[in-house]
């Protein structure tokens, strides 16, 4: 570990020995601004007398453009300095010059304006008066300004949005820079202006008010940057003056000028004094502001500090570019905010870009290189991009700085999906592997197999193969495109490497390398012609500029001219290699077909067509045949004169293949059950070629449907048809139907074609349905996929967009077909993948699993599309939705999207489907575990969790889903009470536990709907059910509680059992809290809604027993009487007979009220009929007393709601208030001391001059930030240098 060095307490500037020298007229100040009026050290501290500070406060600025201290330029009368800078209409130099002129006339008044400028820039509405400036200390002034801060909003100028405020920030920074630049010869050395400003900014930077802290830190850092520039100029002047002084002293006595030597000596001395002054100012800012604020709680403040220290190190490297300052950047690279990490990297880029500074960065590079390399994988892409760019600069500065492991960690990023990161990694790769030139490369030929690009192309191929990501060639080419497009466009060298014989002593490309080279060549051609990144990288196509369009056309011309000649030769050479042919045959898609005519390349076109025909006749691989089909399609453009030649060649090829298929099919079908393998292979090969061409070409004139249907029908009858023949026959038949539909849709079909198409389509659907029941899995998957596509194409959607003429073609599946499709999904999609590997090659097994999962996802998506487009009943989706949790990782996105789409179609039906899926799972659990299952079992908890997930999909807008949620509860309640208990009467119904699952949806009910659902629930309950408190009845208890929770009616009592004949529940007027949501006033009879009336009007059945009223009070012990408030209603309850179960206390608002008694007395038991009679009588009395209260209660409630709404509308809510003063202390002081000790921070106090007493450090703690909250643990206890 590198030993930590002490932080230098002073800035060190190179100084020469004190020797006499002469003056230099170029560096002299003609106005004498370098001459100082006096000297004093900045480190002094004290308070100026009131008379000295205020001796001229009553004076007025007398500058040429100022009246009463305010700017008059451009007609801006009586504008403050803040307003002038905010408007930005005046040149900043003139604004500063006006202020300097005012300062020379009355420095206290001008300085007071500057102080108010910083206060106003912080967003504070207060202002520092002359009395405050004369008599108060900095800490008192800041405290006073904090009290006057406007807390209505947390925004302040530096954080406000809009172009005006963005311009203000730049004007603010520019003002500070220009101010120091204009004052650098005299004013900043007057022991007053800079001392006061630095003291003020240091005090503000310690404020707990974020606006003060942010604004003052930015101002202090920009002030520091301006001072660094002044110090740099002083250093240059010092060097020049010293050189002149030495030259004058070295002259002979006769030629030496004593006066000039003395003048240069005095000038050097004065520059030394100025340099000391600037050094003290910078030390004050660095230790008073930077040391504390680079660890501030606000990321923006930390970013400002790191950005500026990078500027200092780059601007004045002799003083700042050392480990004492670099360590702050290194530490902050562990910051938890990407914005700060990004500033660290950009600051370092400016340093590494200058190669003269590399020697000073060696120690930093060795210490923090690993951190920079790890940041290439940063979660923030912007940070990762800059980290890669920084490593590229490090690589350029020193080849030995990065190890091979470091480089390899960057190499793989060329395959990243984020294009800026991939491009940065591509540039790194190019600099590392391709930018180094050998001594003998200048003598190499510019073209051909031995040119320099050929060697670089080989290097690219080697890298591509070593990365073992052969399917991502397009990503590699796109990553290198910006920096190596000339190399990737050297198709001539690529063709030479593939066709030319190797020279003596040259190593020949292997078969694998040739395949990789062809893939890279194809990707480069595609990138050049399409001019957009590959799929998955980039946000779609962009509009090309005129220059890019011209380059695109030129590249297509070159590609056509070059490959029109070379492609036939390449096809001939690799005619037996399927992988190479598949890529080579894609090249004609990017040809400019007009070049064949204008360039007189017809003979090469003929050669190309012959080679493609030979490939079709020799190969049976699907990829190769489809590539041949696309090649003919690309060349068959009727707009060009070559169309006739291509059409003739295509027709001849298809005539030959279809005639061959018809002949072989007749022989094959005549053989019956004894089919010959050679004949089957011939039929399959020919059928593959026809299917591949039928995908892109219309073969309707050959009428293939009849023979294909015969082949499929024979396969069903015999049952021994090879599966590949059946699969391709189904596919080809499907293409035939779609081509017929295209002709009918365009109106180009003959009369009777629609009738034929309808018959063929229905026959094909029936054929696919029959193949769903076969044994072979691959055949069933193909039949299912094609059947889903046909059902979707020929659904009711076919008549949309003005195609009503196609209405006879609509085909809707019957219930049996829907059941078979659903059964196929359940049997072949929702299955667990075999954990055992099919082969010893683990990598191959993983690839196989991924492909199998992709196939199952396609099958599920095909069926879900039928649900979404109403081709099958939405209720069939219940079998899909119930698998949401079990197969979340595999199909969660598909199922969730299906639920979302079905909800958009029909909310109520979707809700019924969701509850149906839960009911199916519940029944499956009962069949497995029995009716005595444990509600804490994994199966039941899984169903409940699924219900919770379903509930979340309904969103937050309860009004939109009101009817759907209510219907869901209705179906759930009916299901819960549907089956009686298998243990006999007195036990809960079989599905009672389902109410526990249903309670997950209670939170989605509106308050009035909860009462309606509760009424509907009570229709299914008996009097005895309400009295039960055993564990087996807990689902009912918890469900009722979930319906009563949050309801406006707090006294849901036993009387609700007979509420169908009149409501007896009392209502309690509540005063809404300030933070509660706005509640709409409701009518007393809101529970008698339309839905409730519909539900309650159902006839009573044996499965829906009438609930009798049940008393709430189930204990024989009476409560103490409670005095009712006037606004409370009265709820009467009858004490019941003594019960064996323990006493269950009631909520306070539902306690029964009785007359005061000295001691509780047991009540005599009453039979059931007496209870009902007593309750009816009590209800009549209660209604009479409540009648006169309802109007006043309703008025009070309306008034409280109105007041609540007014407070919300006027912004008076307490929860909405956001205090602008924030506590930035994020940990205890002891922890900070331990942390600072481990990080070797130098937090030395700053001694400022007596012009202004700065705020005591003990008042606001030295550090308002816990580095542990922004930095990783790896940096907290590790000394950096």
Instruction: Provide DSSP, 452-487.
Output: HHHHHHHHHHHHHHHHT-GGGHHHHHHHHHHHHHHH
Please check the confidence at residue 1003 and state whether its pLDDT lies above 60. Answer: yes
| Per-residue pLDDT reduced to its tens digit, 1154-1165 | 334 344 344 444
Closest CA to 285 of 163, 202, 218: 202
Tell me how far apart the alpha carbons of residues 1164 and 1137 are, in angstroms, rounded to a whole number: 8
Q: Which two tokens stand for residue 1202?
A: 């109105």
Cross-strand bridge partners of residue 335: 1271
Please check the confidence at residue 10 and state whether its pLDDT lies above 60. Answer: no
Contact present, 590 and 518 (Cβ < 8 Å): no
What per-residue confidence (pLDDT) applies to 248? 82
User: What is the mean predicted confidence (pLDDT) over 1-24?
Assistant: 37
Is residue 254 very low, low, confident or very high in pLDDT (cuts 50, 70, 90)?
confident
What per-residue confidence (pLDDT) applies to 154? 72
Which one of 208-217, 1158-1167, 1233-1242 scores highest in mean pLDDT?
A: 208-217
Residue 931: which residues within 8 A CB-CB, separation 6 or more? 982, 983, 990
Count CA within 13 A, CB hemisphere, residue 106.
19
Q: Which two tokens stand for residue 777?
A: 């899995």
Q: Among residues of the chain, what percentage have pLDDT more than 70?
A: 72
| Per-residue pLDDT reduced to its tens digit, 89-126 | 778 888 899 999 999 998 889 999 999 999 989 888 88
User: What is the mean predicted confidence (pLDDT) over 149-159?
Assistant: 75
Please check the confidence at residue 698 and state whether its pLDDT lies above 90. Answer: yes
Is residue 61 very low, low, confident or very high in pLDDT (cuts 50, 70, 90)?
very low
CA 1013 to chain centre: 40
Tell me how far apart the alpha carbons of residues 507 and 499 are, in angstroms, rounded to a whole number: 14
What per-residue confidence (pLDDT) applies to 1196? 52
Q: Which two tokens stand for residue 834?
A: 């075999």
Please check the confidence at residue 762 and state whether its pLDDT lies above 50. Answer: yes
| Per-residue pLDDT reduced to its tens digit, 836-888 | 444 445 666 788 889 999 999 999 999 999 999 999 999 999 999 999 999 99
Give CA separation, 651 vs 171, 645, 869, in Å. 74, 10, 39
Q: Which two tokens stand for residue 1091?
A: 């839905």
What per-residue confidence (pLDDT) applies to 540? 67
**Helix ranges (DSSP H) in 930-1000:** 938-952, 962-976, 994-998
pTM, full prediction = 0.72
Of 522-536, 595-609, 636-650, 1022-1036, minimum mean pLDDT range: 1022-1036
Q: Where are the beta strands (DSSP E) in 578-630?
A: none
User: What is the mean predicted confidence (pLDDT) over 724-747?
Assistant: 93
Q: Which two tokens stand for residue 1265?
A: 């930030």
Q: What is the DSSP letter of 1154?
A: -
Please check the confidence at residue 225 and state whether its pLDDT lies above 70. Answer: yes
SS3 state of residue 539: coil
Angle between the N-to-C axes of helices 193-205 and 210-249, in degrees from 0 to 180, rounded to the nearest 10: 140
570 vs 1245 pLDDT, higher one = 570
| Per-residue pLDDT reduced to its tens digit, 460-512 | 999 999 887 767 899 999 999 999 999 999 999 999 999 988 887 788 899 99
Of 244-258, 704-718, 955-969, minimum mean pLDDT range: 244-258
Please check the confidence at residue 951 and state whether its pLDDT lies above 80. Answer: yes
Of 393-402, 528-537, 766-775, 1157-1166, minimum mean pLDDT range: 1157-1166
- 305 C-beta neighbours (distance < 10 Å), count: 27
Closest CA to 1032 of 971, 1073, 979, 991: 991
What per-residue confidence (pLDDT) applies to 1258? 32
Tell me how far apart the alpha carbons of residues 398 and 417 are, in angstroms, rounded to a whole number: 29
Q: What is the DSSP letter of 875?
A: G
Please check the confidence at residue 9 and state whether its pLDDT lies above 50. Answer: no
């Amino acid at each position: 570990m590198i030993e930590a060095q002490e932080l230098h307490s002073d800035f060190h500037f190179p100084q020469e020995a004190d020797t006499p020298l002469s003056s230099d007229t170029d560096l002299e100040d003609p106005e004498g601004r370098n001459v100082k009026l006096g000297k004093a050290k900045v480190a002094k501290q004290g308070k100026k007398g009131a008379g000295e500070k205020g001796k001229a406060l009553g004076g007025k600025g007398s500058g040429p453009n100022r009246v009463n201290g305010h700017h008059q330029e451009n007609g801006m009368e009586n504008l403050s300095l803040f307003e002038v800078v905010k408007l930005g209409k005046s040149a900043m130099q003139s604004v500063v010059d006006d202020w300097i002129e005012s300062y020379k006339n009355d420095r206290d008044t001008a300085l007071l304006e500057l102080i108010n400028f910083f206060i106003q820039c912080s967003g504070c509405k207060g202002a520092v008066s002359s009395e405050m400036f004369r008599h108060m200390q900095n800490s008192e002034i800041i405290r006073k300004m904090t009290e006057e801060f406007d807390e209505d909003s947390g925004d302040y100028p530096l954080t406000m949005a809009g172009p005006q405020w963005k311009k203000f920030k730049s004007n603010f920074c520019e003002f500070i820079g220009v101010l120091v630049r204009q004052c650098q010869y005299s004013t900043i050395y007057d022991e007053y202006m800079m001392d006061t400003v630095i003291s003020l900014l240091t005090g503000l930077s310690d404020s707990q008010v974020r606006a003060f802290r942010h604004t003052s830190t930015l101002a202090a850092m920009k002030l520091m940057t301006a001072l660094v520039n002044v110090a740099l100029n002083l250093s240059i002047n010092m060097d020049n003056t010293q050189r002149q002084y030495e030259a004058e002293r070295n002259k002979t006595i006769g030629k030496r000028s004593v006066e000039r030597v003395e003048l240069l000596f005095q000038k050097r001395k004065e520059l030394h004094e100025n340099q000391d002054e600037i050094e003290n100012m910078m030390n004050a800012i660095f230790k008073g502001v930077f040391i504390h604020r680079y660890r501030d709680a606000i990321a923006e403040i930390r970013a400002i500090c790191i950005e500026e220290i990078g500027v200092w190190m780059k601007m004045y490297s002799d003083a700042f570019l050392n480990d004492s300052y670099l360590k702050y950047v290194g530490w902050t690279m562990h910051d938890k905010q990407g914005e700060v990490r990004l500033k660290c990297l950009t600051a370092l880029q400016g340093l590494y870009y200058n190669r003269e500074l590399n020697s000073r960065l060696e120690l930093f590079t060795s210490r923090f290189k690993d951190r920079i390399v790890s940041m290439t994988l940063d979660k923030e892409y912007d940070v990762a991009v800059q980290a890669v760019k920084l490593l590229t600069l490090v690589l350029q500065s020193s080849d030995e700085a990065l190890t091979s492991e470091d480089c390899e960690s960057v190499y793989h990023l060329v395959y990243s999906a984020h294009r800026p990161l991939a491009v940065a990694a591509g540039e790194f790769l190019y600099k590392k592997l391709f930018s180094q030139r050998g001594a003998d490369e200048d003598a190499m030929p510019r073209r051909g197999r031995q040119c320099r690009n050929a060697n670089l192309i080989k290097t690219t191929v080697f890298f591509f193969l070593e990365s073992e990501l052969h399917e991502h060639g397009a990503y590699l080419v796109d990553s290198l495109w910006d920096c190596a497009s000339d190399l990737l466009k050297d198709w001539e060298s690529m063709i030479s490497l593939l066709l030319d014989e190797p020279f003596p002593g040259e190593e020949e490309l292997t078969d694998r390398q040739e395949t990789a080279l062809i893939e890279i060549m194809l990707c480069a051609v595609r990138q050049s012609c399409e001019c957009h990144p590959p799929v998955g990288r980039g946000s779609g196509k962009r509009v090309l500029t005129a220059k890019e369009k011209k380059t695109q056309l030129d590249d297509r011309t070159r590609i056509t001219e070059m490959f029109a000649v070379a492609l036939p030769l390449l096809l001939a050479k690799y005619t037996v290699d399927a992988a190479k042919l598949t890529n080579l045959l894609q090249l004609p898609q990017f040809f400019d077909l007009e070049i064949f005519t204008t360039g007189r390349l017809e003979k090469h076109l003929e050669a190309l067509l012959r080679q493609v025909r030979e490939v079709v006749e020799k190969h049976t691989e699907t990829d190769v045949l489809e590539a041949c089909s696309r090649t003919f399609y690309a060349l068959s453009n009727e707009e060009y004169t070559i169309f006739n030649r291509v059409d003739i060649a295509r027709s001849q090829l298809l005539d030959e293949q279809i005639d061959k298929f018809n002949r072989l099919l007749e022989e094959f079908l005549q053989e019956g059950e004894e089919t010959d393998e050679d004949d089957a292979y011939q039929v399959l090969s020919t059928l593959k070629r026809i299917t591949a061409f039928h995908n892109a070409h219309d073969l309707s004139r050959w009428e293939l449907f009849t023979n294909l249907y015969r082949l499929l029908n024979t396969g069903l009858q015999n049952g021994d048809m090879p599966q590949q023949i059946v699969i391709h026959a189904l596919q080809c038949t499907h293409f035939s139907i779609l081509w017929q539909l295209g002709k009918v849709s365009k109106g180009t079909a003959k009369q009777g074609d629609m009738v034929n198409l309808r018959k063929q389509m229905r026959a094909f659907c029936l054929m696919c349905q029959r193949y769903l029941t076969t044994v072979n899995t691959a055949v069933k998957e193909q039949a299912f996929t094609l059947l889903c596509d046909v059902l979707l194409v020929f659904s009711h959607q076919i008549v949309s967009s003005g195609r009503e003429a196609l209405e006879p073609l609509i085909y809707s599946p019957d219930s049996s077909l829907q059941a078979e499709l659903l059964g196929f999904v359940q049997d072949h999609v929702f299955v667990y993948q075999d954990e055992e590997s099919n082969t010893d090659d683990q990598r191959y097994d993983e690839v196989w699993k991924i492909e199998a999962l992709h196939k199952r996802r396609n099958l599920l998506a095909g069926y879900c599309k039928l649900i979404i487009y109403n081709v099958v009943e939405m209720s069939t989706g219940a079998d899909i939705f119930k698998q949401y949790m079990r197969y979340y990782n595999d199909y969660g996105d598909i199922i969730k999207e299906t639920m979302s789409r079905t909800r958009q179609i029909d909310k109520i039906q979707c809700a019924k489907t969701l509850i149906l899926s839960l009911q199916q799972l519940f029944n499956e659990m009962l069949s497995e575990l029995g009716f005595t299952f444990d509600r804490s079992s994994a199966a039941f908890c899984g169903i409940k969790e699924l219900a919770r997930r379903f509930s979340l999909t309904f969103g937050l807008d309860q009004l939109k889903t009101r009817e759907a949620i209510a219907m869901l509860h209705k179906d759930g309640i009916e299901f819960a009470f549907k089956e009686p208990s298998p243990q006999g009467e007195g036990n809960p119904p079989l599905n009672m536990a389902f109410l526990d699952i249903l309670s997950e949806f209670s939170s989605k009910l509106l308050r009035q709907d909860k009462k309606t659902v509760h009424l509907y629930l009570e229709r299914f309950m008996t009097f005895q059910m309400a009295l039960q408190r055993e564990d087996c009845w807990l689902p009912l208890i918890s469900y009722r509680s979930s319906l009563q929770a949050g309801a406006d009616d707090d006294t849901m009592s036993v009387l609700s059992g007979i509420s169908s004949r009149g409501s007896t529940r009392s209502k309690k007027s509540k005063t809404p809290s300030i933070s509660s949501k706005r509640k709409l006033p409701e009518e007393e009879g809101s529970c008698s809604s339309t839905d409730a009336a519909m539900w309650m009007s159902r006839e009573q059945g044996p499965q829906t027993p009438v609930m009798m009223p049940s008393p709430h009070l189930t204990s024989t012990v009476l409560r103490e009487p409670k005095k009712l408030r006037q606004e409370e209603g009265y709820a009467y309850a009858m004490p019941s007979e003594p019960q064996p179960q323990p006493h269950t206390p009631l909520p306070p608002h539902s306690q029964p009220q009785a007359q005061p008694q000295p001691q509780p007395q047991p009540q005599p038991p009453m039979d059931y009929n007496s209870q009902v009679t007593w309750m009816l009588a009590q209800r009549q009395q209660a209604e009479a007393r409540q009648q006169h209260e309802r109007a006043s209660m309703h008025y009070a409630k309306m008034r409280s709601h109105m007041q609540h709404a007014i407070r919300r509308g006027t912004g008076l809510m307490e929860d909405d208030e956001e205090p602008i003063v924030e506590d930035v202390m994020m940990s205890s002081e002891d922890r900070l001391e331990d942390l600072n000790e481990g990080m070797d921070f130098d937090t030395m106090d700053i001694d400022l001059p007596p012009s202004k007493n700065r705020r005591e450090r003990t008042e606001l703690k030295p550090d308002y930030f816990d580095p542990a909250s922004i930095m990783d643990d790896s940096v907290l206890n590790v000394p950096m240098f």
